[in-house]
Amino acid sequence: MRVWTVGDVMTTAVVTVDPSASYRAVVDLLVERRISAVPVVDEALQVAGVVSEADLLRKIEYAGDEKPRLFEGRRRRGERAKATVGTAADLMSAPPVVARADMSIAAAARLMDAEHVKRLPVVDDLGRLIGIVARSDLLKAHLRPDDQIREDVVDGMLAAYFADGVDDVDAQVSGGVVTLTGRVDLASTAESAGHVTRQVPGVVTVVNAITWVVDDRQTVTGLGYGVA
């Protein structure tokens, strides 16, 4: 099964500004293009930073109150300083948090969460901008047709997990919800089948109705019958 990457969902036609762009020019661009942030790139397309609506709002937030205060934290002091500057180079958040096109969408989601950002400029091996990926782009995997998801579950994940074949296990998909049915020898096998199925892009949740004969999850193994 092919793992979905940032390159599969990113936007390649990226709106950018150069470091010398004025505050007003950046505001006008965001409003005109209906976007919430823009990468700042140099002549070599190297990403220097990102200017977001939050960065631009500092000028409004601290209007008339730009002077640093005693005991003010470094982050707050930096935000207040942006109220007095006028170019993208001064306004931008840097260094930028970036992604590579071959990064998995799961890894990109974790990076966004860890860095508290809503989008990631995508760069090549030389650090040049080739696209941008937003939170909404990562959700595209959940728009996949059910038949494609089922194919990846049965012919991809389960076929790889059950080396001897998946004749005893089946999967049905409706609205991204995968229902696993069938019968296997061990309860741990049934659990693992559910776990690997959840890793398929587009799977919303898994209803694991696979039955088993031996519950090998118990300290004392006994023969029985149950549902994982």
In this structure, the number of other CB atoms found within 10 A of the CB of residue 198 comes to 14
Query: Most confidently modeled of 27-41, 84-98, 210-224?
Result: 27-41
Looking at residue 91, its pLDDT comes to: 87
CATH class of 144-227: alpha beta
CB 96 within 8 A of CB 107: no
Looking at residue 38, its pLDDT comes to: 96
CB 142 within 8 A of CB 196: no
* pLDDT confidence bin for 100, thresholds 50/70/90: very high
- Mean per-residue pLDDT, 197-215: 91
Nearest to 19 by CA among 59, 48, 53, 44: 48
Q: Where are the domains of the chain?
A: 6-140, 144-227
pTM: 0.68
Measured between alpha carbons, how far is 162 from 155 in angstroms, rounded to an integer? 10
* pLDDT confidence bin for 144, thresholds 50/70/90: confident
- According to the CATH classification, is domain 6-140 in 3.50.7.10? no
* pLDDT confidence bin for 83, thresholds 50/70/90: low
* pLDDT confidence bin for 67, thresholds 50/70/90: low
pLDDT exceeds 50 at position 172: yes
At 220, is the secondary structure helix, strand, or coil?
Answer: coil
pLDDT exceeds 90 at position 45: yes
